[in-house]
Amino acid sequence: MTEDRRTVRLKPKAEARAIRHGFPWVYADELVTDRRTQGLAPGALAVLEDGERRPLGLVTVNVKSKIIARMLDRDPEAVIDQAWFAARLQRALDLRARLFDTPFYRLVHAEADGLPGVVIDRFGDAAVVQPNAAWAEDHIDALAAALRQVTGVSTVIKNGTGRSRSLEGLAEETVVLSGGVSAPIPVPMNGATYMADLMGGQKTGLFYDQRPNHAFAARLARGARVLDVFTHVGGFALAALAGGADQALAVDASAAALTLATEGARASGMGDRFSTRQGDAFDVLETLGQEGAQFDLVICDPPAFAPAKPALEAGLRAYERIARLAAPLVAPGGYLVLCSCSHAADLSSFRNASARGIGRGGRRGQLIHTGFAGPDHPLLPQLAESGYLKSLFFRLD
């Protein structure tokens, strides 16, 4: 075994079987946290043992987190260096290269790609890395070097922002690790061009996860008047216009995001059919209702209202309210698309909240399709949290 490798141990009653069968996390109440374990720095590597001191694999430990250990490698003697990262990244790249004809996709989706807490989105010759766990922050140089080695990208940006990092006790910062970008990156997707701000945009600059749901919505958009609420940089609206929509109104609270959306519409040759409205989504929906506005396709793709279990009830009420305000804006026989990226809200709970909201909005309808994240956002079957995105497509009476 690697010299001086530390060990941590499951409590006698903790379920080691789940770990052996692929579950990647150990919660704080499952691990023996003696003084030695408490002294481990966030992100430290250790061999995880079961209650009988049999090794289960190599984990990263953060005693400040509710997820106190994350499985890195089933081999307890694994060395986490550039070669180790390169092997994981090559496996991830092989899948994306088979799925996509252009180098614009999520390259690494955290635990599902064997890199716990790490997200990497690729934008052609640039990549944005989100090291959302302490161990990844500690190894960022080796990770970035392996990323350049495997993909050939010249620009690597560390986006160190977001709720996950704060839970790990990490500082927020965005840093160029190599290369650089001087302007938003044009991203071709579903027949449209999106503008991604890699340095100042939300998350990595673009949300690839909705790609298949954008495509499905575009099939419903031919000849339609479209309302896209929480549009970010054009989201569903640009895909709908590429699919033949007559016009699209995009709503977002961020003026910067709407500017990028407008630039994307122009770059796509659809600027004359695209308009924006800045404001709070709930306020805009209420105002449109008072105006008697009608659309053939309405999409609401809000941020996570229930990012964790304590926020679940409030989050479900917010989803219900969105549905209640949006449903009356849909013309008879039109379509309503409601989305959730909340880990804590499972599909059944979100679907029920959406149906209640539609009913409270005075409408009834059919659920014609349920969409999830694209295949560049794979699920780890043992980890329900990796399947966070839900998109419900309703046809309203």
Q: Residue 280: which residues within 8 A CB-CB, separation 6 or more?
A: 253
Residue 360 three-state SS? helix
Of residues 112, 39, 33, the one with CA closest to residue 66: 33
The 8-class DSSP code of residue 31 comes to: B
Q: How far apart are CA 244 and CA 47, in angstroms?
A: 56
Q: Are strands 155-160 and 126-131 parallel, antiparallel or unpaired?
A: parallel
Specify the length of the chain in residues: 397
For tokens 């939300």, the residue is 202
Catalytic annotation, pick one of 220, 341, 358, 396? 341
C-beta separation of 94 from 124 below 8 A: no
The 8-class DSSP code of residue 379 comes to: -
What residue type is 117 in one-letter code?
A: G
Burial of residue 372 (CB within 10 Å: 0-12, 13-18, 19+) is middle
Q: How many CB atoms lie within 10 A of CB 360?
A: 14
Give catalytic status of residue 339 as yes or no: no
User: Tokens at residue 388, please?
Assistant: 């966070």
User: Tokens at residue 338, please?
Assistant: 């409601």
Residues noted as catalytic: 341
